[in-house]
Every structure is written in C-alpha cells, then in structure tokens.
Amino acid sequence: MIAWINFATMIVGGILMTVTYLMSVRPAAMEQKIGERAYRLAGQYRILTTIFMFTLTANYILYHWYPLPFDPFPPVFPWPYWVSVLIAVLIAIPSLALMIRGELDAGAETMRPSKEHSLYGGIYEKIRHPQAAGELFLWWVIAFLVNSPFLVVFSFVWVPVWYGWCVAEEKDLLLRYGDDYARYRQRTGMFIPRRHHDGSSQAV
C-alpha cells in the first residue's frame, strides 16, 4: 500500500509541479489579464513548484524501500553501491555548478519575477537556460544515489517537461522584452553555447 501511495504522490506531484511552474513563467501574459499583481502571483507559483520538487525528492528516496510490485527492473544496480555514488557525483558537479551560476546571475528573479528586471548577464550571455539545464540532471543524481534502475529510467519523463517550461518561458520573455529578447535569442544557444555571439543577454 505504501508503494502505491508513494508512486501516486509522485505522479500527482509531478503534474502539479509542471502546472505551477508553467504558470510561474507567464507573468507578462498574466499581466494583460490581471495587471501588475501577475508578477507577485508568478513568484507564489514558483514557491509552490519548489515545494513539489522537494516532495518528489522524498518520493524518489522512499521508492528505494517501497518499489512498485510490478517494477520490471532489478531493485538495485548490479555493481557495488560506490559506483552509483560515483556516477551521481560526476553528474552532480557540473549540474550544480551550472544551476548555481545561473541562480547567482539571475539574482532575486530566480524566485521572484519582477517587471522592472532587465536582461541578465553572466552565464546567460552564453546559454539561455542554465538553471534548467543544470537542474534537470539532478533527478538522475538522486536516482543513482538511491541506487534505483527504475528511477533512472523514470527520470527521462522530466526531459519534455523541462523543455516545455523553457519554450513557454521564452514566449513570455518575448512578450516582456520584445525585440531585445528576440535578438538575444538569435545569438545564444538554448542549452549549449553557440560558436559565435556578441553583446549582452538574458534568459530565465
């Protein structure tokens, strides 16, 4: 019973996380309907997203002890646990570095969107979504740390979710910053730096 509850919570939490973050990256669109309080509301949605992410992390950890009865994968990987830890560390180091650098360069806008905020600099001069690129891979870090083949495979479900968030966010940024963001998008890569670019930039 615990296994089913945990898995159901994981699925529901994932859906809620997807919806709340989609809402959090649409302040400019929401502003057209409800005014400037849209930015405060977007920040509240972002906080809810963070809560759901922590809930999902707990679900991942619990899955190690309460796997689904029909789980087709072995309960753990066939190699020693230290190998899984090493893989997790190798994924975590660049992922955390990219995510933290993005958070530092985005500043308060990471959690509290502001209408007055200008385009970002720093890492955003090279790629448009460093936080998303780094954060996504942390699901595999957790999956390897709990030594679960099922969760390593299940984590691929987040790839289209994260990509969809970035696409939705860019639509709102075009509405918010107009031609400045359009030019920025032309000279920077979404997740991988382009060979040639110039000027300053932004993305969330």
pLDDT at position 4 over 60: yes
pLDDT at position 80 over 60: yes
Spatial separation of the C-alpha atoms in residues 7 and 1, rounded to whole Å: 10
For the chain, domain boundaries: 2-67+75-187
Conformational region of residue 3, where left means phi above 0, alpha means psi within -120 to 50, and beta covers everything else: alpha
What are the structure tokens assigned to 112, written together? 């509290």
Handedness of CA 25, 31, 36, 41 (dihedral sign): negative
Across all residues in the chain, what is the average pLDDT? 90
**Contacts of 189-198 spanning 24+ positions with Cβ under 8 A:** 189/126, 189/127, 189/128, 190/127, 190/128, 190/129, 190/166, 191/127, 191/128, 191/129, 191/132, 191/133, 192/127, 193/126, 193/127, 197/125, 197/126
pLDDT on residue 201: 40
pLDDT on residue 118: 67
Highest mean pLDDT (candidates 71-85, 98-112, 186-200) = 71-85
Q: 2-67+75-187 adopts what CATH topology?
A: Four Helix Bundle (Hemerythrin (Met), subunit A) (1.20.120)
pLDDT on residue 197: 41
pLDDT on residue 177: 86
Task: Please list the helix, strand and coil fractions of the chain in percent, rounded to the nearest 5, in that order.
Answer: 70, 0, 25
The pLDDT tens digits of the residues spanning 33-66 come to 999 899 999 999 999 999 999 999 999 999 999 9
The pLDDT tens digits of the residues spanning 112-171 come to 777 776 667 788 888 999 999 999 999 999 999 999 999 999 999 999 999 999 999 999
Please say whether the beta carbons of 67 and 148 come within 8 A: yes
Apex 5 CA angle, 44 and 1, nearest 5: 165
pLDDT on residue 195: 73
What are the structure tokens assigned to 108, written together? 């308060």
Which residues make beta-bridge pairs with 127? Answer: 189
pLDDT on residue 106: 83
